[in-house]
Amino acid sequence: AYKSVLQLTECVDQLTTENIKAIHSQLMRSSKIQIVDNGGCTCAVHYINAGLTRLATKKSAVVRSHQYNLAYCPVELVDQQLDYICKMGRQYIARWRNPLATAAWIHVTFTRCHPFDAGNGRMARLLSSIPLIRHGFPPMCVSPLWRGVYYESMVTAWEGDYQPLINCIVQSVQASLTDVERIMA
């Protein structure tokens, strides 16, 4: 999946709904089932349709054990929303001078669309990496140490304030570069 994203950094015109679906299929190749806790002693196993957009609208998500009611894109509009994300993403990646703001926009917009049954966060981070890589930054990687900050910044971005998410992306880039420097020393 990462190799496909690297190709998109070279040719942003290839950022299309079909290519996003193909990347999702590659990403989820080893994650074909999802175990879902039904809130108690029972769990359900769901097959993940890798590369296919979701078939049922998700109405809520659990983030750090807090329940948030999130308004995901209605299922019948998912492909249309993906087309919009690709169209605007291509424009923003090509024209915006701030790759961090572009990455934040892609991340939040993709997450809000929530096009797949599973893997949406991973896909959002992969796609958000495109403008970063194009500008010489490492891909977006959220360390477990930054997970709480990341989730909180996503909630804030959902409410319209992208700055905490941009700051989180900066922190993740800095942490990645520090790790590389430490390894190379």
pLDDT for 12 equals: 93
**How confident is the prediction along the chain (185 residues), in pLDDT tens digits per residue?**
889 999 999 999 999 999 999 999 999 987 766 666 666 666 666 667 788 887 654 544 444 445 555 667 788 888 899 999 999 999 999 988 899 999 999 999 999 898 888 899 999 999 999 999 999 999 998 888 888 899 899 989 988 999 999 999 999 889 888 888 999 98
pLDDT for 35 equals: 63
Q: How many residues does the chain have?
A: 185
Cα–Cα distance between 22 and 105 in angstroms, integer?
Answer: 22
Joined together, the tokens standing for residue 50 give 């890798």
What is the sign of the dihedral through the CA atoms of 74, 78, 84 and 85? positive
> Which sequence positions are flagged as catalytic?
114
pLDDT for 180 equals: 85
Domain that holds residue 95: 2-184
pLDDT for 185 equals: 86
User: Which residue ranges make up the annotated binding site for ATP?
Assistant: 150-151
Cα–Cα distance between 7 and 138 in angstroms, integer?
Answer: 15
Q: Considering its fold, how many domains does the chain have in total?
A: 1
pLDDT for 122 equals: 93
Domain CATH number, residue 125: 1.10.3290.10
Instruction: Please measure the distance between the N-terminal and C-terminal CA atoms of the chain and give it in whole angstroms.
Output: 29
Helices (H), 28-72: none
Of 143, 183, 150, which is closest to residue 166 (Cα–Cα)? 150
